[in-house]
Structure 1
């Protein structure tokens, strides 16, 4: 049997800002990785592996703090 629990959060103002920054960074990285995937596929006809995407992240954290 599957069960579900619904939870409603009421973050403070500081928490809202932190969540907005985190979601914004995640959205930016998703779009960056998607663009890299599309460009690589157009050039080679093959998709990138997950390890390539994970390898990009530390470098991007330094470039875009």
Structure 2
């Protein structure tokens, strides 16, 4: 999954979970979606793109081997 897509889904889910928590005073109302978070996800995305491909391993579709 692309890191930006994952970040959007995470933001939506955390907002869903944060709403009831703020009603009970269990969570802070401030969101932590700043530059640090975006930079972190960009580094994860970059790291996944840099991972070497294994030329010796061929992917085989399930049921065809």
Both proteins in one fold, TM over 0.5: no
Structure having the higher helix fraction is 1
Instruction: Report the TM-score range of the alignment, normalised by the length of the smaller protein.
Output: 0.3 to 0.5
- Normalization by structure 2: what TM-score? 0.38
Larger radius of gyration: 2
- Normalization by structure 1: what TM-score? 0.38
Flag the structure with more relative contact order, 1 or 2, with Cα contacts below 8 A and sequence separation at least 6. Answer: 2
